[in-house]
Amino acid sequence: MEMLNIKINGQDYQVPKGSTILEAARANNIHIPTLCYLKGINEVGACRMCLCEIKGGRALVAACVYPCNEGMEVFTNTPVVRETRRAVLDLILSNHNRECTTCERSGVCELQKVSEEMGIKEIKFPPQKKETFTIDEVSPSVVRDGSKCILCGRCVAVCRDVQGLGAMGPTGRGFKKSIDPAFGMSLAESNCINCGQCIINCPVGALKEKDDTDKVWAALADPTKHVVVHSAPSIRAGLGEAFGLPVGTLVSKKLAALLRRIGFDKVFDTNFAADVCIMEEGTELIGRVTKGGVLPLITSCSPGWVKYAEMYYPDLLAHVSSCKSPQGMMGSILKYHYAKEAGIDVKDIFVVSIMPCTAKKYEVARPELAVNGIPDNDVSLTTRELARMAKQAGIDFNALPDEEFDSYYGDYTGAATIFGATGGVMEAAARTAVEVITGKEAENIDYEGVRGIEGVKTAEVKAGDLTLKVMVAHGGANIRTVMDKLRAGELKDVHFIELMACPGGCVNGGGQPIVNAQDKMFRDIRVERAAALYHEDKDVLKYRKSHENPSVQKLYKEFLGEPNSHTAHEYLHTKYSAKPKISK
């Protein structure tokens, strides 16, 4: 790699050719503040907080976009740099609703952090808002508060370039400029898929999830309700971050303890339903392969992807699995099997799911995710909402003992836990499908060809004389690439496709703990969180294949019969239909 010799603040450094000043500085532990910068996604120099001085230069330059040159001398802390950054920050703050004590992002707000670093005590400029910004809270998943928006463009870039949607964009000019859906619509009326990627990439509190914690507190206080909870695979790989633990810390057993301390009557695990999902989806795949059904079969675990398909690929919905997501399956199982076994009227059971995903809130409200008009789940909370409940209850998460989930519906395999990483559903399905097709125990069940964060992956899975060709894609833009090829007839030899709306899969869901853009510059949190799930799969759990789960075997014997049976279809399957879209 060709290196360049530069000076930063009088010190000599060697940096790779092609580095920006910001990359060079941060690689050498020199802090330059940023707000609009998002590595690989939004590198536009819009906020001007990263301005630096170059020796011999006539003007300050934006470090996030200015390339390093041989012999360059950069200054990041001169009086003019500090004064200019301060003036820029004062202007941003003058146009920002500073209700920090009541904002969900307090403590993890990048604007708050920069203000603290720069020693802001007062704002020189008077407030410049020309009109009152209304809060858009029509969506079941995402709330927009324009009074807190700093116009950094990060949400726009993520939605447009990473997710391939463009649900929001800039409108107006000057102090009247804002970020909105087209035609003055709410997000609920736009082509938003509720994924929440805008939330986790917003530096401030302008975007947040719809808070449903009050509904859960009310249910817990209602003596007529039996309140049960189940938590998704990715929660155990992300929740610890909300309590100061390193990214990717596995907290499965503290999670179970926390849910009990909050007051839930029973603490179960969505992983149980993930194992059931593999039984159903794997059987559906085998049936289509052996009996000439519509191929490729596409997974239906991600509600953001399902909505994407309904809007943009309604002609290809026959390819989408009829299986409900693990969230939907778990709710149905709890209301129609657990409730019966426990002698509880289905109307008296209240099911709460803890999900890494804001789109799960949208899914809970879908009529397709109900049986006899009764929703499978009553409330879906994000990882962040669960963390807030823990803090409201005064629970010291890190001091909690290790505890197990309640048995039967809290029993799961490693195949279920890797659902949270991109490629995980595919790998879990392969572990079962291969052994069902061959009737033999597989020698190797680590299908590493479908792992990793490459946007689109292809692999082959050998099942005796049969070779299954599979694909994995994550993030809306990559999904569009795959689906356009399918529509064009270019994937006729593919048997099975896993699609996840969020980049990296559920570990990077829109409801996960916020990670500062600066912290994500030299690390990939998707990889670190996924590593925790693969560790639990391989090193912690007794069973690693869904069909080996004794409690799942018991469920089929007692309740469902066979995978894809009439009873299974009544409670665990659904169907989707076309939905209107407004753009693209």
- Structure token pair of residue 201: 């990439």
| Active site (catalytic) residues | 281, 284, 301, 321, 360, 363, 368, 506
What distance in Å separates the CA atoms of residue 72 and residue 52, rounded to the nearest whole number? 12
Neighbour tally for 229: CB within 10 Å: 29
Q: What is the DSSP letter of 242?
A: G
What 3 state SS string does 328-339 have?
Answer: HHHHHHHHHHHH
Please give the structure tokens belonging to residue 155: 């949400």
Picking from 579, 581, 518, the residue whose alpha carbon sits closest to that of residue 64 is 518
Q: What value, to the nearest 5°, has the Cα angle with vertex 513 and ends 524 and 39?
A: 35
Residue 23 near residue 76, CB atoms below 8 Å: no
Residue 537 burial (CB < 10 Å; 0-12/13-18/19+)?
buried
- Residue 522 burial (10 A CB sphere; 0-12, 13-18, 19+): exposed
Distance CA 236, CA 167 (A): 30
Instruction: Please tell me the distance from the alpha carbon of residue 167 to that of residue 197, in angstroms, as a whole number.
Output: 12
Residue type, 540: V
The distance from CA 537 to its chain's CA centroid, rounded to whole angstroms, is 20
Alpha helices in 68-109 (DSSP H): 79-94
